[in-house]
Structure 1
């Protein structure tokens, strides 16, 4: 367990169900561990319809938990009206704070690119209709993700979850007003370009996440990841950006509260 951060942060993207949580007690245990490290709130994110339904329900079990719902791009091969109707219903719930994760994934070959792009365009429109931020999954698809956002017209708030681009892509995202969320990958020894990207992002345009149970920060790669591990990434980002840990933690907290409207979320 890392030392407690000097200011509470938000894990802006985690998967509590994939971390092993099933019940409200499971969720509470995970979030309690996170809070002891200074990670006081989490956004649990869906990747399919069942996960979206669970995430929306789990967000009502603990006031520190919020949800994001969508169908992951790798699961959009069959994404029909029934799925769209249910995602939209969930997206309108008060403790669902984002539409995501959606976007494009050209690394895996589970869904055709045209099916992914059609679903991505629908999720962009949904985010605008419900007035909530869009949380993007972008893997090996930077140019098409940026092109589709431009063609469709981006929502007011766009978050690039687990940002994976270099300095050039980061600059284009920053100039477009998008928010870049950094995960444990920024701590990896071979992530020089990602760290360069992390240096140039303005303090009001970054978030911190775990993507747990995946992408455990260095030097714990290979071990299970949980929201408390966001504290390691915060400390690494402080070193990369040459500022104090408190400054990174405060910026990440304020940005999450602004982007996800956390202070205005009520209800179960």
Structure 2
């Protein structure tokens, strides 16, 4: 095994337990029980498992029903919507969206997401399907009183426009926040939560750290997006929920806050955002 593929060492445990607000256990090289135990050992006691298509969303809801430390979010990822429509037409996309809504109604599912817009991987030919899917997810979240978890990649203006047109759910989370300080202020003005991932630690992420500096502590969440976005100095190795303390400590440094103070904010914010 190459060194870069080896798991990073566990961090010093946090004094104040927090949640990983966005993870993909189904994509990680460990069992659910192993993932939960490793996270709990360093003070990460709650995990939000996020589904990105029908199969993964079904799995997420089932795992959340079976594990007290795990909650679920279900959705069609923005890049899944144009694929479904391309292969089966709008009828196939609608059928998938209807099942997502059924899954979202389950008590162990606290959020609809990750949904949104992705201009990085999807060209103009697939964006209408993305916008349609995003609007349907927004409607489902509002109708069921669930949080909305947004995937926004290279699509800030379009995401904000759709939210304005549809009306954002009462609890809205920008997963893996990627905007600048100006967008952070827009989110703050609307009371939207901003979840920061390991990429906030990357050397080239100065605009992201400026956004974090501008974001109020009462709207901050922390996530892994595991197995992706492993924080420095372990970038390139697989990510997992037990890595949260590395990112939270980097965030505390940017904010000029004691790590325990930030952890208290994050723990309360995540519970408020997802309603547990």
Return the TM-score normalized by structure 2: 0.92
More helix by share: 2
Corresponding position of 2:194: 180
How many angstroms apart in 2 are the aligned matches of 1:196 and 1:170? 9
In structure 1, how many angstroms separate the alpha carbons of the residues matched to 2:273 and 2:182?
23
1:241 aligns with 2:255: yes
Aligned counterparts, 1:158-169, within 5 A: 158-169=172-183
Aligned length: 258
Partner of 2:117: 104
Whole-angstrom distance in 1 between the partners of 2:243 and 2:93: 36
Among 211, 228, 235, the alignment partner of 1:214 is 228
| 2:130 aligned residue | 116
Q: What is the alpha-carbon distance in structure 2 between the residues aligned to residue 148 and residue 243 of structure 1?
A: 34
CA distance in 1, matches of 2:188, 2:232: 26
Deviates more, 1:129-138 or 1:107-116: 107-116
Summarize the alignment of residues 61-72 of structure 1 with structure 2, pairs less than 5 Å apart. Answer: 61-72=66-77
Q: What is the aligned counterpart of 1:45 among 42, 45, 50?
A: 50
Q: Which of 113, 121, 136 in structure 1 is aligned with 2:150? A: 136
Q: Distance in 1 between matches of 2:166 and 2:95?
A: 23
Deviation at 1:37, TM superposition (A): 1.0
- Tell me the alpha carbon deviations over residues 155-174 of structure 1, each in whole angstroms, 9 at most, x when there is no partner: 10110000001111111111
Q: Cα offset for 1:81? A: 2.6
TM-score, structure 1 length as denominator? Answer: 0.94
Q: Is the aligned partner of 1:127 residue 2:141?
A: yes
CA distance in 2, matches of 1:149, 1:95: 25
Alignment gaps of 5+ in structure 1: 263-268
Residue among 38, 56, 76 paired with 2:81: 76
